[in-house]
Amino acid sequence: MTLPDPLQGIPALPSGDDFEAFVWSLLQRRYPPENLRYFPAAMGGDKGLEGFSTDGIGYQCYADKDSLTLRARTDKQKAKLTRDTSKLKKNKDALVALLDGTVLDHYFLIVPEYHSTEVIAHANKRAQLVRSWGLPFISDKFAIAPKTPQDYQGQYQAALLDAAAQVLLAEPTVSDAAVDGFGGKEPALATTLLEKVGTPQGPSPRRRCGRHARLAHTLVPRQGRNDGSPAGHAANPRIRRGAATPAPRSAGVRERICRHPAAQPSHAGGG
């Protein structure tokens, strides 16, 4: 019995434009200019790499725009890895000159998002094959992994702050029928939320009054508290010897809190 494909029925939102430029803006934030190389695709193609960093990481960006389901997107991402890693062998001599002695330990396929471990498993299989070719710019520990812009959190958040990060996903379209039918339904999430917050839980009014009174007592500074004690007089030079002792401030605060309607016990239904 064949199990249903979990990715087949899920629609894939389009990835939007300028994804490659956005990714390279993140990498430019991560590396100083002397440690980053970019290969313009217009000059004879990217040869399986769009660029690399001198710490041994090769970069390739991919954002498909016409996938209708996550299954289609996953298959395209796997096919992209197959095509581009094959170019590493085909363009061996050109890449030796471009990399100029840099040996790649990692190859990142950067995509807006990926949805299946199939992509990771396929990347591992392709890395094993590339290692077997014995290319001079591929290390013995060479690995391939899918990445997203969110993997570069520091650079991504900085891009958001200075408005360099544009919306990478197009707005979803909603049919008129869906809009018309929404008014007659209550979303399941909203129903669950109302059930959780419908009956507030908290301490009884009497316990709340006592807790607030203790808080008020704490808020009155211990130094200079006018409680009539010798320590209170000594700490407060404004109290003259023999003068009438003012009422403790904390007591007044407690009295006001306990008289507040919210702190009074409810007698509804109590007779």
Sequential DSSP letters for 104-156:
EEEEEEE-S----HHHHHHHHHHHHHHHHTT-TTEEEEEEEEEE-GGGSHHHH
Distances 137 to 8, 79, 98, 154 between C-alpha atoms, Å: 38, 23, 10, 29
- For residue 142, give the nearest of 200, 114, 83, 102 by alpha carbon: 102
Taking the domains of the chain in order of start, what are their residue ranges?
19-171, 205-263
Residue 69 pLDDT > 50? yes
pTM: 0.56
Is 236 or 110 the better-scoring residue by pLDDT?
Answer: 110
Residue 266 pLDDT > 90? no
Interval 186-231: pLDDT, tens: 566 667 767 777 655 555 555 555 555 555 555 555 544 444 444 4
**Which pLDDT value is given to residue 225?**
47
Mapped onto helix, strand or coil, the DSSP state of residue 18 is: coil
Give the residues across from 51 on adjacent strands. Answer: 38, 59
State the average pLDDT over residues 45-53: 88
For domain 19-171, the CATH class is: alpha beta
**Which pLDDT value is given to residue 77?**
95
Q: Which of 21-35, 134-148, 183-197 has the lowest mean pLDDT?
A: 183-197
- Exposed (0-12), middle (13-18) or buried (19+): which is 236, by Cβ within 10 Å? middle
Residue that has been written with the tokens 């591929």 in this structure:
138
Mapped onto helix, strand or coil, the DSSP state of residue 36 is: strand
**Which pLDDT value is given to residue 138?**
98
91 Cβ neighbours under 8 A, 6+ residues apart = 47, 48
Mapped onto helix, strand or coil, the DSSP state of residue 69 is: strand
